[in-house]
Structure 1
Amino acid sequence: MATDLDGTALRGDGSVSPRTVAAFARVEDSGAVLVFVTGRPPRWMSGVAGIVRHRGLAICANGALIYDLHTERIVESHLIAVEVLEQVVAQLRANVPGLAFSVEYEGGFAHESDYLLGGWDSRAVGGLRVGTSTLTSRPCAKLLAFHPSMNPDALQMAVCDMVGHLVTPTHSSGKGLIEMSAHGVTKATALAALAEQHGIDRSQIVAFGDMPNDLPMLSWAGTSYAVANAHADVLAAVDHVTAANDDDGVALVLEELYR
């Protein structure tokens, strides 16, 4: 069983309801493999790790990092190379005025001085404030580009047209924030590799999501669910729709599947 976190298994305030915690326990108690597949970096996973008693693995940064919840260590990474990072930033900067950039490294976060997401500013996201040359000086798990006014779907289309041959762009926040992984790296590729390691066929996998960054995973999984609050493209792509994240939609399904 694979589930996205923010907007899917987590409530709007970022909490996990007691009902969902109990549903996750049902999955684990049945002997099934529970995998969190998230855009979050590992540094935002400690609270979630505690919920599942620090067992299992999480796919983080949209497939770029595999994180061991027991040891709280990264065990596998698929990074954007420096030369690609430099090329992507230069191409986007030249063609989309107003963009600001940040990066998630394996072990930290850095951002340009004008990288501000409304109330989600540098104090909230943490990390180092650096210049562009420093930002692109080492490989990273995820490159983020923020535009204060562009529609996220339109921005993603533009980014795909310009640099989709170099990186894999997606979005998940509802803001003009594009998340880029190494070319070909998605939640689906990471989940497929993990399933192969465990001898699990894709037909056995049930996946939950809500945003465009979940689409590759949902398309790949044997059975796919969207929560009712999901992006329109996700609602159109899945096999089933459950209740919204604030109404414990994931737990509702898991209670039926793992009685």
Structure 2
Amino acid sequence: MSARPVAEMTSRGSPRSPRLVAVDVDGTLLTSDHRITGPTHEAAARIRATGSGVVLASSRPPLALEPILRRLGLVEPTAFTASQGAVTGTARMGGGLQIQHRDSMPLLAARAFVRETVAAGWTVSWFTTSTWFVSRLDDDVRREAEAVGLDPVVRDLTGVDDPPDKLMLMSVPLHLTASEVVGPDLAATLQALDSSPGYVEITRKGVDKSTALRRLCESGHVDASSVAVIGDGPNDLALFEFAGLSIATANARPEVLQAADFVTASNDDDGVAIALNALMGFPAESRLP
């Protein structure tokens, strides 16, 4: 299948006015320098004003998602999904986050994974709802800290008692697939997915962005056919399979572009704004691809 430009959306051939739009964050909502553009901010406000919901579906941990939620006005009762689908919650009107659900991984399995990967020379990130722990501070961690606006805590991860919602590796060689990151002894308990080149996210087996979105839809009585999703990475593919309509940004990985129903402009060219406007039949604010 070849994705069509969002300019070709029609009420006859494609769902319009979805009840819910789920949007990935890094590489999709945010530009390459981690900004929300004016047109994107305006399009999100316009679609919410129609009564349709906007949900951020991110692999970021909740604390790194909160500033973005507030910038877009996505506070309670609007929900979010974080940590690759392991966490759902809302941003409180008065500040702070309300965590509604956690699908943390088994503590013993997480510790076993850490022991194996640290012994192999990897730097491991361990994310809970409140803290980002790292096995060591290196250039990858420093760059990530600047990008997401969090301060990591360096410590022996095998001594952390709060089970992680997700683990993360950075600078993973491109020849190494995500499935190879989790060894056969842990494959029944943990799973790994690529989020962007060099990044691998590890969660409890069976947990991904679609499981969190499905939970939100069930609680809100929203049918999957009334859901649209926008993403760019392999870890968004489960969302594409779940939703009634899928849109990839032009900067998406080839397998994501192949799986999408439609393609919009890149994250640096107001792709999300263009897609939201097309979904609702609004005039485009930027040039369509």
- Asked if Structure 1 and Structure 2 have the same fold, meaning a TM-score greater than 0.5 normalized by the shorter chain, the answer is yes
Deviation at 1:118, TM superposition (A): 7.1
Conserved in 1, the CA contact under 8 Å of 2:246 and 2:261? yes
Counterpart code for 2:129? E
Deviation at 1:93, TM superposition (A): 5.0
Separation (CA, whole Å) in 1 of partners of 2:87 and 2:214: 14
Superposed CA offset, 1:5-40 (max 9, x none): 111111111111110111101221111111000011
Superposed CA offset, 1:30-79 (max 9, x none): 11111000011111123212223242111001111112023522221111
Separation (CA, whole Å) in 2 of partners of 1:237 and 1:160: 25
Deviation at 1:165, TM superposition (A): 2.0
Question: What is the root-mean-square deviation of aligned Cα atoms in Å?
Answer: 2.1
Separation (CA, whole Å) in 1 of partners of 2:34 and 2:145: 19
Q: Quickly say closer, same or farther: Cα 1:155–1:116, change in 2 above 3 A.
A: farther
Q: Quickly say closer, same or farther: Cα 1:29–1:231, change in 2 above 3 A.
A: same
Indicate whether 1:79 and 2:104 are aligned: yes
Conserved in 1, the CA contact under 8 Å of 2:123 and 2:135? yes
Give the corresponding residue for 1:2. Answer: 22
Counterpart code for 1:139? P
Give the corresponding residue for 1:206. Answer: 228
Q: 1:126 aligns with which of 131, 142, 151?
A: 151
Superposed CA offset, 1:132-181 (max 9, x none): 4224x3311111233x4611x62413125533322121122322x32111
Number of corresponding residues: 253
Counterpart code for 1:134? G
Q: 1:42 aligns with which of 47, 62, 67?
A: 62
Deviation at 1:185, TM superposition (A): 0.7
Unmatched tracts of structure 2, length 5 or more: 1-20, 283-289
Conserved in 1, the CA contact under 8 Å of 2:64 and 2:150? no
TM-score (norm 1): 0.89
Conserved in 2, the CA contact under 8 Å of 1:54 and 1:70? no
Superposed CA offset, 1:97-117 (max 9, x none): 332212001211111125541
Conserved in 1, the CA contact under 8 Å of 2:145 and 2:152? yes
Q: 2:276 aligns with which of 234, 254, 257?
A: 254
Indicate whether 1:195 and 2:217 are aligned: yes
Q: Quickly say closer, same or farther: Cα 1:161–1:113, change in 2 above 3 A.
A: closer
Indicate whether 1:144 and 2:168 are aligned: yes
The 5 Å alignment of 1:7-86 reads 7-55=27-75, 56-71=78-93, 72-86=97-111
Separation (CA, whole Å) in 2 of partners of 1:229 and 1:235: 9
Q: 1:217 aligns with which of 239, 242, 246?
A: 239
Unmatched tracts of structure 1, length 5 or more: none
SS in 2 for 1:31: coil
Separation (CA, whole Å) in 2 of partners of 1:49 and 1:18: 15
Separation (CA, whole Å) in 1 of partners of 2:152 and 2:142: 16
SS in 1 for 2:196: coil
Indicate whether 1:173 and 2:196 are aligned: yes
Separation (CA, whole Å) in 2 of partners of 1:221 and 1:54: 21
Conserved in 1, the CA contact under 8 Å of 2:196 and 2:234? no
Percent identity over the alignment is 27
Structure with more contact order per residue of length (Cα contacts < 8 Å, sep ≥ 6): 2
TM-score (norm 2): 0.81
SS in 1 for 2:63: helix
Q: Quickly say closer, same or farther: Cα 1:192–1:201, change in 2 above 3 A.
A: same
Counterpart code for 2:112? Q
Indicate whether 1:226 and 2:251 are aligned: no
SS in 1 for 2:52: coil
